[in-house]
Structure 1
Amino acid sequence: MTTSIHPSPPSLSENQGGSSFSTGAPPPPVSQTAYTIAGISVLVYGLQELEPGIQEVTCLWLFHGRTRSRECMQPVAAYCIHDWNSRKKTQDANAAASRKLKRGLIAVSFDQRNHGGRIVDPLANEAWMQGNKSHAQDMFSIYHGTTIDTSLLLDHLPTYIFPNDDIAITQDLALGVSLGGHVTWLLLMHEPRISAAVVVIGCPDYIRLMTDRARRSKRPSYTNHTPPGSEFLGSDDFPKSLIKVVEKWDSARLLMRPNGIDDELLPPSPAVQKEIIPLLERRLQNKSALVLSGAVDQDVPYATSEPFLKFLKQATNKENGWWKDGNCEVRDFVFEGVGHNFSKEMVRMSVDFVSEVIGKA
């Protein structure tokens, strides 16, 4: 089921600079070390906080929103690392808990493609209403590219931070906000090493998201046809070649569209379930996701994610899901009164989820 949560603070535009991500308390101090890995400038948080004798580490990958940069994720890293380390200090001294809580936590952030120190063309980060005619191509290619960068860094990060191989990264998690939330969906689907994710105001269905954005932006490609939107896909704003790329990578396209599933057809027939279950096993087996959305988000409306989330929650329901044996958990929360914003309640819930997942490792 979808859980609604309230109250909440006012919305923060995804294009506003800086970081307002807060639990309500100031973020605690956290160490930060810079590396250049495969030509990408990477910030690693929490290395100095690792206790002597730590042999296993969880790595939390953090992804910022559109027009922002890696630095805005520093408070999230600080909250998560401090919370996990505090739990270790106050944990019960029994042997089982000790083994679990001996694990360390670090976090990583880097600029998404064409953002921060990697900027090439500022206009490519803007939307149609800001004059970017190739908004649909630009946004998908940027966050798809960031996903590829992450897989590369997953391979190479240990060779820089733990060159003696005395500490192993044995668990990788992802947390992304807005554009970073889109990245996180792709990683959860395509990167086997990402075992859990927090998706904050992100969307798993790019075609539904951009069709809605074209409607709200009053693009002629959407409005000048009967019925409106009937010829948006395949137009100059969303060309046929982009459809092919999206169908190859997008979460909703991979699991729903090839089998003719939409929000009018849930749950799928037993025959269709039989076709989908191998895909689910390959991509989401033993994974978990915390999905946090704003009820009044105009940039990434919850309605654009809802059909896919309904589909996934029906499949994974522990009591009567048709894929209940996949050990995949989806927690879906919608925050009343929140727009396109990573609210205090969302930050607190994210921090708790990260520590909970690490505690189960």
Structure 2
Amino acid sequence: MGPTNELGLPSISRKSYTIAGIAVTVFGLDELTFDAAEIACLWLLHPRLATQESMFGVADTILNDWNKSKRPSLEDVKLVTMGLIAVTFDQRNHGTREIDPLVNKSWKQGNPRHAQDLFSIFQGTARDVSLLIDCIPAYIFPTPEKTVTEHIVLGVSLGGHAAWSCLFHEPRITCGVVIIGCPDYVNLMADRARLSKLPSWVNGDPPGSQFLGSEDFPLPLLEAVRKYDPAGLLLSQIDIHSIDHHQPLRENPLPDPPEIDKQILLPLMKRCLSGKRILILSGGVDKLVPYHRGEPLLTWLKKAIAPNGWFADGRIHLEDIIFEKAGHEMTSAMIEEASRFVGDYLSEDPASTSSLVREAKI
């Protein structure tokens, strides 16, 4: 038996590269079989205040699971020919890229620009993923025997927010796992402002009415959120009379869009989400990124993409699993679900993908 990691799993090979000025670690190159001409790349995005090393165990687990599943099968040629690698790197202002430690802190920890800093860091990470997708094949496969044909993203917390952006804005990302992340930045940060008792929140009448557009959440940030955040992007297309865009906290179910708005949303949804597979893993007692802050948007989205929904032909497969006793953490059970989801995605026939919404509480 070969060397094992701290989890007792066989250690997956690691190779280090400097790509576009970013220190990148690639897992699994040595384990690729000769007949694996097509390669899937799993991008692993770490939490806030962590580094790429925190995702090494995830890489080992998922790649070990996939490599064990690859057995010659007359029924499923894809299992034989598809190889899987994983990539980690430090998010902006983290690890080897840290410039100012305060930028990674929250309002309560003394950072007055928490909303701007958090958003810009994980959006920067999403753009780094796109840049690295462009560049990495020339480093790891400089000869044509192997080609990267699939891209999957898995992000945790800060990395989960970035994963949502990758799913919406990078067409080459066709599958994603979001662990304790949120698709509604305004709702998340408004709740955090309320709990932090920011003056821009408590001094409004009613409380919170002055938060958006204040120094704590400036209008240029709100404009960026409406371009890149899933909730900001989708809900900004809805008629202003059917949804209160000035109320920062979304507590209630969102209304179905009227037909005129659907005609605007349909091409946007098609461009961002058609044919994609998404797994959402959340902690039921998570206080830092509470599930209920993303729930209004997720409920609205699940209704739209369901088999009888108004965007059923988008062929989106979405699984939403809540681990009821988990907090703001990535548990071993979450990693198991993520590994199962990635394996299922790589094993399926893309032509057979149809709309599916699965919800579960564990």
Task: Report the TM-score, using the length of structure 2 for normalisation.
Answer: 0.89
Cα contact 2:70–2:79 (8 A) shared by 1: no
Instruction: Give, in angstroms, the shift of residue 233 of structure 1.
Output: 0.6
Structure 2: which 5+ residue stretches go unaligned?
Answer: 244-251, 351-362
Structure 1's unaligned 5+ residue stretches are 1-21
* Aligned-pair CA distance for 1:264: 4.3
Partner of 2:18: 36
- What is the CA distance between 1:25 and its match in structure 2? 6.0
1:173 is matched by which residue type in structure 2? Answer: I
Whether 1:309 and 2:288 are equivalent positions in the alignment is: no
Which residue of the partner structure matches residue 262 of structure 2? Answer: 273
In structure 2, how many angstroms separate the alpha carbons of the residues matched to 1:137 and 1:206? 11
1:56 aligns with 2:38: yes
- The answer to whether the aligner puts 1:177 opposite 2:156 as a matched pair is yes
Task: Report the equivalent of 1:353.
Answer: 341
Cα distance, 1:205–1:265 mapped onto 2, change above 3 Å: closer
The whole-number CA distance in structure 1 between the counterparts of 2:228 and 2:48 is 20
SS of the equivalent of 1:275 reads helix
Paired AA for residue 346 in structure 1: M
SS across alignment from 1:300: coil
Measure the CA separation in 1 of the matches of 2:262 and 2:269: 10
- The match for 1:122 among 67, 82, 101 is 101
Give the distance between the partners of 1:297 and 1:28, measured in 2 at CA: 32
SS of equivalent to 1:169: strand
Q: Determine if the alignment matches structure 1 residue 242 to structure 2 residue 242.
A: no
* CA distance, structure 1, for counterparts of residue 313 and residue 194 of structure 2: 39
Aligned to 1:188: 167
Q: After alignment, is 188-197 or 344-353 more displaced?
A: 344-353
Equivalences for residues 206-285 of structure 1 within 5 A: 206-260=185-239, 262=243, 263-285=252-274
Task: Give distance in 2, aligned partners of 1:142 and 1:52.
Answer: 38
Number of aligned residue pairs: give it.
Answer: 335
Aligned to 2:131: 152
Query: Would you say the 8 A contact 2:254–2:297 is kept in 1?
Result: no
SS at match of 1:296: coil
TM-score (norm 1): 0.90
Q: In 1, distance between residues paired with 2:217 and 2:205?
A: 17
User: 1:296 aligned to 282, 285, 291, which one?
Assistant: 285
**Which amino acid counterpart does residue 290 of structure 1 have in structure 2?**
L
Q: Any conservation in 2 of the 1:125–1:139 contact (CA below 8 Å)?
A: yes
Shift of 1:341: 0.7
CA distance in 2 between partners of 1:99 and 1:134 (Å) = 48
Q: Which of residues 64, 77, 102 is equivalent to 2:59?
A: 77
1:270 CA displacement: 2.4
- Does 2:326 correspond to 1:338? yes
Rate the CA distance shift 1:25–1:74 in 2: closer, same or farther, 3 A. Answer: closer
Q: Find runs of 4+ consecutive structure 1 residues off by over 3 angstroms.
A: 24-28, 260-265
| Maintained 8 Å contact 2:237/2:261 | no
Name the SS of the counterpart of 1:163 in structure 2.
coil
The amino acid that maps onto 1:181 is: G
SS of 1:164's equivalent in the other structure is coil
Q: Matched residue of 1:183: which SS?
A: helix
Q: Note if 1:326 corresponds to 2:314.
A: yes
- Supply the AA of the counterpart residue of 1:298: K
Identity of aligned residues (%): 47
Choose the corresponding residue for 2:85, options 103, 106, 111. 106
Using a 3 Å threshold, how does the CA distance of structure 1 residues 99 and 346 change in structure 2: closer, same or farther? closer
SS at match of 1:258: coil
**Alpha-carbon distance between aligned partners in 2 of 1:197 and 1:76, rounded to the nearest angstrom:** 14
Equivalent-residue separation in structure 1 for 2:302 and 2:126 (angstroms): 24
1:3 is matched with none
Deviation per residue, 1:228-271 (Å, 9 max, x gap): 11111111111111111111111111111221465544322222
Is the 8 Å Cα contact of residues 101 and 359 (structure 1) preserved in structure 2?
no
Q: Residue type matched to 1:222 in 2? A: W
In structure 2, what is the Cα distance between the partners aligned to 1:99 and 1:273?
37
Letter paired with 1:203: C
